[in-house]
Structure formats: structure tokens, C-alpha cells
Amino acid sequence: MLNLKQLDVIGLDIGSSSVKIISMNRDNAGYIVKAAGYAEIAADSENNFDTVSDEKVMARIIDAINKCFATAKLRAKQKIKTNLAVCGVSGPEVAVRDFAFPRLPDEEIESAINLEADVLCPFNAGQASIDYQIISDNDDSTKGFIVAATKSLLASKKQLADKAGLKCVLMDVDGLALLNCFNNLAEDCDREASAILNVGSENTTLAIMNKDGWPFIHDTSSSGNDIIIQILNENEISKEVLYSILFNNEEDVPFDLASSLEKASDRLISSVSNALRFYAAQEKSVPLRKIYICGGFAIARGFIELLSRRLGTEVILWNPFSNIRCDASQGCKEILTKQGHALAVAAGLAMRSI
């Protein structure tokens, strides 16, 4: 680009059950939210979790993106002047791994990265897009981390944005977006002693910043939907009643919620516990004092208390917008207050620049 000014972008987080949009700027005093949007993806008329055709799913997601973007613009009083979006990916088709090579000249790094990716990627590296970040490069070694994602996953996210009239100009990893958001907002004492746990509908992401800027990212398919399905299968209640109990503090609970929630959450908690043990065994790890939890399932009734007890670490609900100014309508501020815990990835994506 001949004109080297920074381009405005929006953070577009396309989940499995909802779409989130954040637009923000930064000045000398910090970040300012210019617009925020949240829209549920319409569920199948029979069952939210049924498998339906790709065309129907895509149409519902595109409709949700359109609604989210339109309401965000409306609440921002048309302050969104761009359709350039940064999207994120996560799950089993994404991998973040570190590497350490003997000192390499610049022209040899990329070929070494590609060879390393063949070994480190849990999927076929030939069918993936690969990028990397050098963290240290001295006389002894070249160190950094590799990011890989399947081309099909990247293409599907880009296609969804394009069909909704937005242009995906940058693709990020949800775990890195979470760390980017947290590191831009957290106090210095928290940055190297805290983990971020994003519990969504389809995936759960654990993100930790190691010593000297090394990221540790772990995705698991255990999710909020899995917990909800198991509770529904074991108790004779409707999905609407369960949602009211978990998220609206419905007082009439016709079953043992604490026991049922713990049993349904066991697989997710075991996966997170194993990831934390693996992290702790690494040379670059630091003792964790807190786990900040976000994502759509984070506010489920009794969930934070359950995690704190089972993981043996203080778990705190994280709403990144409690430390960010908002220059938009009251409706936008209400979204950030009520749904801010679910918008952390979108905020991290919006913090990227071009």
C-alpha cells in the first residue's frame, strides 16, 4: 500500500451458536469501544444440536452475521466506517507449537519451519496454512512458535464473512487473540501468572503466556454444549427450563443441579486439568495464581465455583470491557456489561491492526 496509514478493522468472532462483533480504537489513554454487536445463530426448529445440511447452517450463520453487523452499526450511530474484518479460528484443525533451531540465516528459516510443521502438526501440514513468529534470535539459536490451520477451516470462515458482505483481511487464532486482549488490559502482576479459559458452545480454549512471551494454547472439543446435552439427557426437563436455571437464576430447580453439573463437566475439567499439568511440566512455565474464565458458558450457575474447587486455583469471571471505555449508545454499553464475557475473543481480534 502506498498510503501507509493504519486501516480500521472490526473483530468478527463467528462461533457455533452466536456471532460477536467489536470495533475499537486506541488513544494515549487506552482502548475505546466504538461499536459492539451480539447475535444468536438461529437453531434448528426441532433441536439446537441436530446435524443439518451445510447449506442451512451457512445460511443461518450468514443471517446472524448480517444482524450482528447491522445492530452494531445502528448502536454505534453509524460510526463503523469499514467492512474489513479480522476473524479467528480454533479447535482440532488449529495448532500452536513452539520451536527452537540452531542459529539459522533468515533465508533458511521458512524451509526449516515447514519441515518442523510436518512433525508438530496433528493434521496433514500439506493441507494447512502455516505462519510463525520469531521470539528470540541470537548467536546460539532461533526460537519462536508455529501456527497452523487447515485450509478448509480458513476458507470456510472467509466464505462466511464474504457472503455477509464483510471482507476478511486477517485470520487469527482465538487463543492468541485472548492473550493479546488480556496482555493489553491486565495489570503487570497478572500477565505472567494467569491463564485464560474460554468456554464456548463448541470448543474450550486454554491460553497462557509463558516466560518471555511464549504462548501456550490448548483447544479441546469439550464445551458448554456437551455439558448442556448431558444434563438434559439425565434429567426430565426441557432445554428452555435448563437455560433458565443455568443463566437466569431460576429458583425452582427440579433436580440436584450441583451434582448433575459436576458430572456433566467432568470431561471438560479433566481435559483442562491435563493441559495445566502438561503446561506446568514445561521449562518456560510459571506457577499460576488465577484462571480468568470467559465465553458463553462462563456465567452458568455454579460453574465458576465448581472449576475453582476441582482445579485447585482461583477462577474469576473475566469481562475485558470492565477496563475499556465505550464511546457508543446505551444499547452498546448494555451488551458489553451483560455479554462482555462472551466478547473477549472479538475484542482481541479487534486489537489487531493492518
pLDDT of residue 44: 67
Domain end position, chosen among 110, 129, 145: 145
233-239 contacts at long range (C-beta below 8 A, 24 or more positions apart): 234/260, 234/263, 234/264, 235/260, 239/48
Q: Average the pLDDT over 257-262 and give the result.
A: 95
Q: Is the same domain home to 26 and 120?
A: no
pLDDT of residue 188: 67
Gap between the Cα atoms of 231 and 243, Å rounded: 11
Q: Is the same domain home to 141 and 279?
A: no
pLDDT of residue 52: 41
pLDDT digits (tens, 9 = 90+) for 178-202: 999 999 988 766 777 899 999 999 9
pLDDT of residue 75: 80
Q: Is the same domain home to 205 and 177?
A: yes
Q: What single DSSP character describes residue 16?
A: S
pLDDT of residue 187: 75
Considering the domain boundaries, does residue 5 fall inside one?
no
Q: Average the pLDDT over 328-334 and give the result.
A: 83
Which pLDDT band holds residue 78 (cuts at 50, 70, 90)? low
Q: Is the same domain home to 192 and 320?
A: yes
Domain tally, the chain: 2
pLDDT of residue 47: 42
**Full-model pTM:** 0.91
In angstroms, how far apart are the furthest CA atoms of the chain?
A: 66
Q: What single DSSP character describes residue 41?
A: P
101, three cell numbers: 533451531
Q: Average the pLDDT over 32-42 and give the result.
A: 92
Considering the domain boundaries, does residue 171 fall inside one?
yes
